[in-house]
Structure 1
Amino acid sequence: MSSKPMQIAKDLPTTSHAAADIVLDTAYQNISELEWQELFSFAKKSRLPEFITDLFSGKHVNQSEDRPALHSALRNLSKTPVILDGQDVMPSVTKVWQRMDALCNQWVGVTDVIHIGIGGSDFGPRLTIEALAHVSNIESRGMRMHFLANIDTAELARILTHALPHSTRVIIVSKSFTTLETTMNAKAVVAWLKNSGLTQSQINKVLFAVTANISVAKSFGIDEEHIFPFWDWVGGRYSVWSAVGLPIALQYGFKTFEEFLAGAHAMDLHFRNSPLEDNLPVIMALALLHQQEKYDIKSYAAIPYADALDWFPKWLQQLDMESNGKSIGKDGKPVKHSSPVVFGSAGSNAQHSYFQLFHQGPEVIPIDFIAVRKPMSNRPEATAHHRILLSNCLAQAQALAHGKHANNPNDVYPGKRPSNLLLLPELNAYYLGALLALYENRAATLGALWNINSFDQPGVEYGKILAKPIEKALDSGSQHIDASDSIDAVTAARINLLNS
């Protein structure tokens, strides 16, 4: 599989732009030339070019945590110095690449890998492993990659039913190494290894960790040479480019992982260096902002017409809503707009699910249609099937844009439903990396336009705090829990019901 981008048509429609050979067509956004000019003017007044420069130069754009957001350094294959507080971070990043490459050459006879992590430690690697599994002729180690995220033991049980303990490796991924779901699942897997007859010495050889908190990982029992670091300037949802993506390299080889990074790096260079008017992440962000202003949209959909990308909307949900789902801006004041609700699934399955709402529902829901030029298999019927798949993608966008008039109200399609078309030359590691980086950079752009810090997530902590006294009450088994400062009357009644 080559990392070289394919050559696309040079004469693109006036509504189309390209980066890393991914084409974005905004023809169905229904945005006039004057409106585009006003949007670009707003972006400049919002100091978006300065924000982009600050993002890549190590400025502390994550103001609430006083940190930069330098995930782009993790895919900086050019190794151009990236200076953070006077120090170049690239030697440390390069060292991790070298260790990942070396580990790929060390594992022999491994049948199963259990990757334990949740949220950003799970979505990116899981999406990439699933997507690349559909790439024809990709080199694969053939290991069973198991992703263990949920604290629900159903997922744990399913994995341990199939994994072979004496040929299993375990990767525990947590930035803090204190995430409750991850540590409890890790302890359960270690107990399974012990109960399967492995000695402590054998267990030590199969446990690996990826974390920013090396000391806690060592206290857990991970040998230091098995710990891969990443840094506090990497947000979890932006971390697949780090050693968090180790399963990608282990399954498909480090060269494939480098191709994944190369596609993302190419998109970063485009985002950093292109004028706003030709900048794919900026154009996509401004189009969404326009639809918020025009229709007050509350949701949008991402529909990849590629079964291999079925996990993409789930990854995107965390990226967008955890990054930008906030009502308070960087200045401490309420914001006008924030992240819409994100949903989606693979087309054409989605057409037989919720497209009715897109076409005839009262709410306008913008859509990103994502299509791939080449079929995703070598089956003899692949060309014919793919032609129908692409036909459906294009037809749905056209129908949503133009609508249909009819005497029978039930047959009326309002039309004027905005959409983008993103067209990938093919689906491989390079273009997948470019696609993910495109959306990462779009999320950062939207945060800048909305005056939101896209790199913290304080809203996810409160529920975790409240869960602790509730768990204690459930553990007590008491059916006489009363309301308190941390447990309200409704929750107390529910605890008593569960304990009955």
Structure 2
Amino acid sequence: MKYIDPVSTQSWKNLKLHFNEIKNVHLKDFFKTDTSRFNNFSFFFKNKMLIDFSKNRITRCTINYLLQLAREMNLEEEIQSMFSGKKINYTENRSVLHVLLRNRNKKTILVNGENIVSKVNYVLEKMKNFSEKVISGEIKGYTGKTITDIVNIGIGGSSLGPNMVIEALSPYKNHLNIHFVSNIDGTHINQVLKKINSKTTLFLVASKTFTTEETMINAYTARNWFLEKTGNIQFVKKHFIALSMNFLEVKKFGIIKDYYFEFWDWVGGRYSLWSSIGLSIILSIGFKNFVDLLSGANDMDQHFLNSDLEDNIPVILALISIWYNNFFKFETEAIFAYDQNLNKLATYLQQLNMESNGKSVSRNGIKVNWETGPIIWGEAGTNGQHAFYQLMHQGTKIIPSDFIAAVNTHDKLYDHHKRLFSHFLAQTKSLAFGKSIEELKENFLNEKMETKEIEKIVPFRIFEGNRPSNSFLFEKITPYNLGLLLSVYEHKVFTQGIIFNIFSFDQWGVELGKKAANNIFSILKENKAFNAISYDSSTRNLINAYYSWIK
């Protein structure tokens, strides 16, 4: 692993000069001068996915300079390092091998001298057998009743990923009701406990260390509730399952080995839906569909690993993002899924990107002077059009966006989907090309408006356009296609991390607030006036306001 600052490379200098040449060129002009622009700036992947990146403020020269940057940053070598199991998570001294979890054909990969492939396959087979017994009704609750509900207790990647996938693939869902509890706010778990029956519910406790504060507080609350209902601690063994790497803590909780599903420290939390953390997914959509999800992701993994950089989908998307963030200074990226089942995708991708690349210290251990991870946000379907698209079309900020849609829907209802798809196409077109003064005046004249009235209204109706976007198009949202899509974004984030010269696989910023919260919790338990000068006046007075109102 070479620690190179991207701004010191020749390609970065070339990009700065190139940016000054094209920064004011309009997308309209790019399309006028290149009649084959769509063909030149799009990817078809195995007739399963189409990615159109032609509506970006780039030329072939831009791409070439960006590819030169990727090569100067040793991207190809770094990709090989991840897939071969090298410890690229430097600050935690770990390999990064979530890609192994979906490669069912791999025979050998060594971590610390041990072939871990057999372990992965063992856990996957165990998940298959367990899920089939629950779904079929063979596994029953403590009274002999069939299981009807699954509660997944976890936070971060132990919740966001499975929750997003289960909703995205809801057309494939079976009879089991899946619930998620993540927030430490007691309201969250209380809302779920009100809906379920202790006799017919299984609890999945998802925590790598089995010490995560939010998860374990919710897990013990669920266990206490369960014991109040049953009055017998022995029944815990029938209803609680652990998804973890820490069997000692799992055993202390009262969970038996048969109900323990292992995963490993080389699986990052935000990449863990492919591991035993995905048990809730299997219980919801069945093992075959989960395997299809893995297969889609693995096919994109192999494409990322083996394709030349110029033909590499995640690499090109990552480079375009870097172009906007560092040269145009566009700070955010939006994800717009024109499919209601993908409602949680933007939230999932927030964690994937912002927890990975939200860093300001380079691999050299010094403060960076370039932009790293962008702000990720988004919304599903036409909802956003009636909320924030006004800013996107006419505001002062430009927001590069990904638009995601499927040609066919799982829910055929009158012409709903055709109308939805027309909005998908219309928005990328309108953002890119806008509406000029001349076009507006011609429209108003056709409507027989008076010249005076036209002059008055035109300034408020101008759409400058030149807003970039990518379009992701699928035949249908299936488990395989969802796997493809998620793997694209994972490798896009990885590529950006390499080029930013940062460590993408740790998240020390997550820990700071947790430690501070533990200290403050010990103060709040004392329930008395707090005047410690070691705390700032704001925090002291907020604590005392808490004391004055607590009942």
Regarding TM over 0.5, the answer is yes
* Equivalent position SS for 2:397: coil
- The residue that corresponds to 1:359 in the other structure is 393
- The residue that corresponds to 2:412 in the other structure is 378
- The residue that corresponds to 1:437 in the other structure is 487
Q: When the two structures are aligned, how many residues end up with a matched partner?
A: 481
* Structure with the bigger percentage of helix: 2
Structure 1 residue 250 displacement after superposition: 1.2
Structure 1 residue 300 displacement after superposition: 0.8
Kindly provide the amino acid, as one letter, of the partner of residue 195 in structure 1.
E
1:308 aligns with 2:334: no
Give distance in 2, aligned partners of 1:449 and 1:373. 34
Q: Name the stretch that deviates more: 268-277 or 411-420.
A: 411-420
* Equivalent position SS for 1:313: helix
Q: Name the stretch that deviates more: 197-206 or 435-444.
A: 197-206
- Of 264, 285, 309, 2:297 maps to 264
- The residue that corresponds to 1:421 in the other structure is 471
- Of 58, 64, 75, 1:48 maps to 75
1:387 aligns with 2:418: yes
Structure 1 residue 456 displacement after superposition: 0.3
**Is contact 1:260-1:431 (8 Å) kept?**
yes
Give distance in 2, aligned partners of 1:32 and 1:12. 12
Structure 1 residue 105 displacement after superposition: 2.2
Give the alignment's Cα RMSD to 1 decimal.
Answer: 1.4
1:497 aligns with 2:549: no
- The residue that corresponds to 1:343 in the other structure is 377
- Of 484, 491, 501, 1:451 maps to 501
**Is contact 1:61-1:67 (8 Å) kept?**
yes
Question: Structure 2 length normalisation: TM-score?
Answer: 0.85
Q: Name the stretch that deviates more: 199-208 or 67-76.
A: 199-208
Give distance in 2, aligned partners of 1:165 and 1:222. 16
- Encode CA deviations 1:268-293: one digit per residue, 9 max, x unaligned: 01110111111110011011011123
- Of 143, 155, 159, 2:188 maps to 155
- Residues 49-128 of structure 1 aligned to structure 2 (within 5 Å): 49-107=76-134, 108=137, 109-128=146-165
- The residue that corresponds to 1:6 in the other structure is none
Structure 1 residue 266 displacement after superposition: 0.7
User: Deviating runs (4+, > 6 A) in structure 1?
Assistant: none
Give distance in 2, aligned partners of 1:188 and 1:313. 30
Structure 2 alignment gaps of length 5 or more: 1-36, 138-145, 438-454
1:470 aligns with 2:520: yes
Give distance in 1, aligned partners of 2:285 and 2:381. 26
- The residue that corresponds to 2:360 in the other structure is 327
**Is contact 1:165-1:193 (8 Å) kept?**
yes
- The residue that corresponds to 1:482 in the other structure is 531
Structure 1 residue 347 displacement after superposition: 1.4
- The residue that corresponds to 1:130 in the other structure is 167
Give distance in 1, aligned partners of 2:220 and 2:383. 38
Tell me: CA distance 1:141–1:347, structure 2 relative to 1, closer, same or farther (3 Å). closer
- Encode CA deviations 1:15-47: one digit per residue, 9 max, x unaligned: 111335221111111201111111111111111
**Is contact 1:19-1:270 (8 Å) kept?**
no
- The residue that corresponds to 1:19 in the other structure is 45
- Residues 214-233 of structure 1 aligned to structure 2 (within 5 Å): 214-233=247-266
Question: Structure 1 length normalisation: TM-score?
Answer: 0.94
Give distance in 1, aligned partners of 2:421 and 2:348. 23
Structure 1 residue 12 displacement after superposition: 7.5
Kindly provide the amino acid, as one letter, of the partner of residue 228 in structure 2.
N
Kindly provide the amino acid, as one letter, of the partner of residue 239 in structure 1.
S
Give distance in 2, aligned partners of 1:472 and 1:18. 56
- Residues 27-46 of structure 1 aligned to structure 2 (within 5 Å): 27-46=54-73
- Encode CA deviations 1:70-113: one digit per residue, 9 max, x unaligned: 00011112134222233321100000011001101222111111
- Of 210, 229, 248, 2:243 maps to 210
* Equivalent position SS for 2:152: strand
**Is contact 2:38-2:54 (8 Å) kept?**
no
Structure 1 residue 198 displacement after superposition: 4.7
Kindly provide the amino acid, as one letter, of the partner of residue 310 in structure 2.
E
* Equivalent position SS for 2:226: helix
**Is contact 2:431-2:468 (8 Å) kept?**
yes
- Residues 292-303 of structure 1 aligned to structure 2 (within 5 Å): 292-303=325-336
* Equivalent position SS for 2:379: coil
* Equivalent position SS for 1:162: coil
- Encode CA deviations 1:165-196: one digit per residue, 9 max, x unaligned: 10110100001111111111001111111111
Kindly provide the amino acid, as one letter, of the partner of residue 93 in structure 2.
D
**Is contact 1:374-1:426 (8 Å) kept?**
yes
Structure 1 residue 259 displacement after superposition: 0.7
Kindly provide the amino acid, as one letter, of the partner of residue 404 in structure 1.
K
Query: Which is higher, the Rg of structure 1 or of structure 2?
Result: 2
Kindly provide the amino acid, as one letter, of the partner of residue 428 in structure 1.
T
Give distance in 2, aligned partners of 1:439 and 1:305. 17
1:409 aligns with 2:459: yes
